[in-house]
Chains A and B, each alone.
Chain A
């Protein structure tokens, strides 16, 4: 998928950063190229994935969802990972990388708090100092994750300007890294950012796709007709897509939040160090977004997705807040699984697909979203009376 220029996916990607960060990105790229196939890195990583993070995660056939007689929906249960989401795959891998690079401190951004919790968790496990930037608005709507991060020993630093969400938290994390680049590793949470981050996150999340491919071949004896994943920055989606990219008959579908559809409605722009499809105006200024789901509430997306869209290999659609909230309730009522609001977007689209075998990445669990969904249904109940 890589284009001819290193660090680019077609015309997207690159490293648009202050010169100060260039040596750190070069060190990261060299370190990753050395370690990504090195047994002395991979063996401890795989051991931790198995004994600490709970891999492999199961593949579950949801038989009680509507239309289940003609359409077989399989859920890749990343919600069963330690800390409750796929974010731990990336956090574990990058923490091991940071230790090998001699860094003693981690800085991270978080939207829904799932990546922040994963970062705080691995820092506790490896004895690294951890500072997490989080928008004030997200701290309000994801309060339980703020408490979890504090309990794990991380410092949560509120971001009180601009959108007060993931966009500004990411900018502040990068500014912190800029000031502390000699000692600090920036643990980015999605397949975004300057090269080589999209590549590192792709590699670390590809475990989702490798497992799911083997599991569905075992259950069905064939590949799925469609693979569906939600896309904010796009890390769970790139992780599950990666195993099917070379199978042209598998329909790869990314589902964005209606109010934050960087791929469906974006234009080429530069945000947080890479050129991608971004919700920006005609002057290149970044727009603010809205989604019920803090993890999808971001105007950018990983550059590899922009390339997969333009090459036609993947397609991207949207789901509304209402679609996601309905799918959230449906999965809880019919299957006894409370999903996060982020993958509820993917599930909502999967339920409308005319396909026989559908693989959905259930990227996280929904405990963190209960208050939002209950508040919302409370409002509906009040309106109804």
Chain B
């Protein structure tokens, strides 16, 4: 156990069970499964287009829950649906949590619910470079197991360089909590993954994983996740050596 985690985001769809299996076999510790929404405010073009494709293929809530169960049949890692409040509003918040749990979900992320909205819905909380210390503390108190560090102010999507805002955010979050901190938004290459993991307890990669899965299927995704895994493990080994 290295302590550094790799979390991969995949959009729910017909190919997702095979892709999820490839990601888990090549070293993903955790998977986020996107439940598509027509108007995803927190997402950049890659995830937005993936959501449009998924909806065109009929990936409504019930189909996404079936997809989640099919993924669960193939992998044993934690599975986290990531979606938007309108989906939960329509399905019923409590009913969604229950049915997703039954399908194999271990937690939940809702991109457009601020920390203090719907405290009845236990979920992984997100904090951003703009988040003040008192809200980081509140998020840490209410979050489900780990804290999601939004590395950049902005929507999801690959960036050419790792956000300069992450070091300060990681440091501020570390002052408020001992929970694992995973950095996401704008992390797409092994190099960026290593740099982010050196500041945190792990990384989340979404847009690039979706892009590679669409381009070259499970085999391509396997190579990509392996490269992230190696980059992140090297950081962990290096950190142990220094100790």
Contact = CB atoms under 8 A, between A and B. Distances in A.
Contacts of A269: 86, 89-90
B135 A283 contact: no
B91 A272 contact: no
A175 B86 contact: no
Where chain B touches its partner, the secondary structure class is loop
A162 interface: yes
B199 to A, nearest CB: 19
Interface residues of B, number: 42
Given A162-B52, A269-B86, A18 B126 contact: yes
A275 B86 CA distance: 8
Nearest to A20: B128
A19 B150 contact: yes
B153 interface: yes
B155 A178 contact: yes
Nearest to A269: B86
Contact of B130 (A24, A175, A285): A24
Nearest to A167: B39
A273 interface: yes
Given A161-B48, A283-B60, A283-B61, A20 B90 contact: no
Nearest to B135: A22
A274 to B, nearest CB: 10
A174 B41 contact: yes
A268 interface: yes
B85 A178 contact: no
Residue among B60, B87, B153 having the largest count of chain A Cβ atoms under 10 Å: B153
A271 interface: yes
A84 to B, nearest CB: 29
Contact of B111 (A18, A24, A284): A18
B232 to A, nearest CB: 25
Interface residues of A, number: 35
A23 interface: yes
Contacts of A179: 152-155
B90 to A, nearest CB: 3
Interface string A280-297: 101111100000000000
Interface string B80-113: 0000111111110000000000000000000111
B37 interface: yes
Residue among A18, A22, A175, A272 having the largest count of chain B Cβ atoms under 10 Å: A18
Contacts of A326: none
Nearest to A288: B38
A127 B188 CA distance: 38
Given A19-B125, A22-B131, 5 more contacts: A19-B114, A161-B48, A171-B41, A179-B152, A182-B130
18 contacts: A18-B112, A18-B150, A19-B125, A20-B129, A23-B135, A161-B48, A161-B49, A182-B130, A269-B90, A280-B86, A280-B90, A283-B60, A283-B87, A283-B91, A284-B86, A284-B89, A284-B91, A285-B38
Interface of B: 37-42, 44, 48-49, 52, 55, 60-61, 84-91, 111-115, 117, 125-132, 135, 139, 150, 152-155
Interface of A: 14-24, 161-162, 167, 171, 174-175, 178-182, 268-273, 275, 280, 282-286
